[in-house]
Amino acid sequence: MCDTIVVLREFTAENVTIFAKNSDREPNEAQIVEVIPRKRHSEEYVRCTYIEVPQVTETFAVLLSRPWWMWGAEMGVNEFGVAIGNEAVFTKLPYAKTGLTGMDLLRLGLERGKTAREALKIITGFLEEYGQGGNCSKSGKLYYHNSFIIADPSEAWVLETAGKHWVAQKVKDVRSISNALTIRVEWDEYGESLKEYHEAKGLSKGELDFAKHFSDFLYTTVSKGVERQKFT
């Protein structure tokens, strides 16, 4: 089980933002910790874990911790102090057999975003266009959706997803996530696909409890994300 936490700097003794994450990958699956320098690119596409997406002219320097066989990362920070961690979340929506893994989305956000807000827009843009999916286990089968904490030295966001649907909430002081959807009706931003979902069901903002509506009860209970979040 994994957990991610952020504390904004005005709530810390040293007046610095604190970001922390642990990782619950498979036994004996090595995680590579690597620094990738800022790079200029001439290629049109970049190959992620399962699919290709358009490349940009320049990607930023990043420090990543990633499963050895994946392009994406479990956690990382870039040269501008943007830090991101992701969590598996289990929802009622179907899991796609291919697409961008949550770890791919995390790396794309770090390589291209100078602030937490920019990284949020990059991740949600890729999510809406390409979707999330793909087997996240090298030795077996593991499919899930993702939640993220995206932080920089000045602000932080929680991003939670179910398929292509997403909601984001700006962190006010201290925030953590632990393998369970946590945002209910009090989100600050949400995606176009969720807006269309609202309209199809005749709902307005604030009438749909995101966590309650989309969480898979069995897997969310087994993962004990709600209990662990109370500790963090």
- The residues that are catalytic are 2
Backbone phi and psi for residue 65, each to the nearest 5 degrees, phi listed first: -120, 115
- For the four alpha carbons of 180, 186, 192 and 197, in that order, the dihedral sign comes to positive
106: DSSP letter = H
CA distance 112 to 58: 8
Q: In the chain, at which residue ranges do the beta strands (DSSP E only) sit?
A: 4-7, 18-21, 31-36, 39-40, 45-47, 52-54, 58-59, 62-67, 75-78, 83-89, 145-151, 156-162, 165-170, 174-177, 189-190
Q: Which helix (H) or strand (E) segment is 102 a member of?
A: helix 102-112
| Residue 17 · residue 6 · CB < 8 Å | yes
Q: Please, what is the Cα angle at 108 between 99 and 8, to 5 degrees?
A: 120
